[in-house]
Amino acid sequence: MRSPDRRSSDGRELGVTGDRGAGPTAAGMRERRVRRLEPAALAGVMMRDVVLFRRYWKATTFSSIVQPVIYLLAFGLGFGRLVPSVDHQRYVQYLATGVVATAVLFSSACPGMFNTFIRWRFQRTYDALLAAPVDAEELVTAEMLWISARAGVYGLAPLAVGLAFGLHATPGMLLAAPVGFLTGFGFAGFGVLIAAEAKTIDNFNYITSAVLTPMFLVAGTFFPISGLPSALRVIARFNPLYHCVALVRDAALDSFSGADLGHAAVLLAFAAAMWRLAVWRLGRRLVD
């Protein structure tokens, strides 16, 4: 007799075993490794997200842009009169480039958590998608790509508002979009990872209050981290948002240096790590 077909953790068929328990062929495994992410599968999932986004884009865009703009207006107009300059920059310029990280953070981590949890636990959307020729890795990757693409666009909003308050337009400002995309990809993966571990949707309140809010407060957004106690300065340098702020600020103000390569490397490593963790954890939960 032949044993039942074995399937991989993402639900795709690996092969049929015989009486001796032979596994999938080497050729099949090589093809699977080479074509791990099918562009058609990624595009299919993302197109579904685009169609849905057309229905609620106004509310999503409003919530993702207004909060950082309020920070910019409140702190810029308030502290801007008391603190005219920071690190040889006008405070409004310093703040406008820093608040980009806030826009990217909340427009990527929050959808990663809430949307993933709702579609997985309540709507059972992911179960339906996995019934199509889409595996868990492609599903998670496509969701993260879509979220990070939106985050990169939303990250430009504070810079646009900053222009009205005296921030000088430079070609480097356009780099805020790819930096926001890379940072958003990492935090989208973080959100998916948290959604895969959460027991109830109320658990996200702990993450938002105890993790996300402190992260943007000690990221150099409102004040330089050099003014923090030594222990917090060390912690801040491990904060991906700090590297996002530093990279966007240098790009927008045309003050690139060798340190920016390090900032970009940290963001890339963070995005890659969160991607693999999100794929692994949610993939396991979807198959269970």
Condensed to tens digits (0 to 9), the pLDDT of residues 143-195 reads: 999 999 999 999 998 888 888 877 888 888 999 999 999 999 999 999 999 99
12 and 109 share a domain? no
**Which one, of 151, 162, 166, lies nearest residue 64 by Cα?**
151
30 and 51 share a domain? no
27 and 44 share a domain? no
pLDDT of residue 200: 93
The residues near 65 (Cβ < 8 Å, ≥ 6 apart) are 103, 154, 157
15 and 96 share a domain? no
191 and 209 share a domain? yes
pTM for the whole structure: 0.84
Q: Is the pLDDT of residue 85 over 90?
A: no
How many other C-beta atoms can be found within 10 angstroms of the C-beta atom of residue 221?
A: 26
Q: Is the pLDDT of residue 97 over 90?
A: no
Q: Which residues pair with 7 in a beta bridge?
A: 13
147 and 229 share a domain? yes
Cα–Cα distance, 38 to 137 (Å, whole number): 10
Domain range enclosing 208? 39-287
Q: What is the CA radius of gyration of the chain?
A: 22
10 and 82 share a domain? no
18 and 63 share a domain? no
pLDDT of residue 13: 42
96 and 174 share a domain? yes
228 and 156 share a domain? yes
Cα–Cα distance, 29 to 33 (Å, whole number): 6
Average pLDDT over residues 72-95: 77
Number of folded domains that form the chain: 2
57 and 28 share a domain? no
Q: Is the pLDDT of residue 245 over 90?
A: yes
140 and 119 share a domain? yes
Report helix, strand and coil shares of the chain as percent, to nearest 5: 75, 5, 25
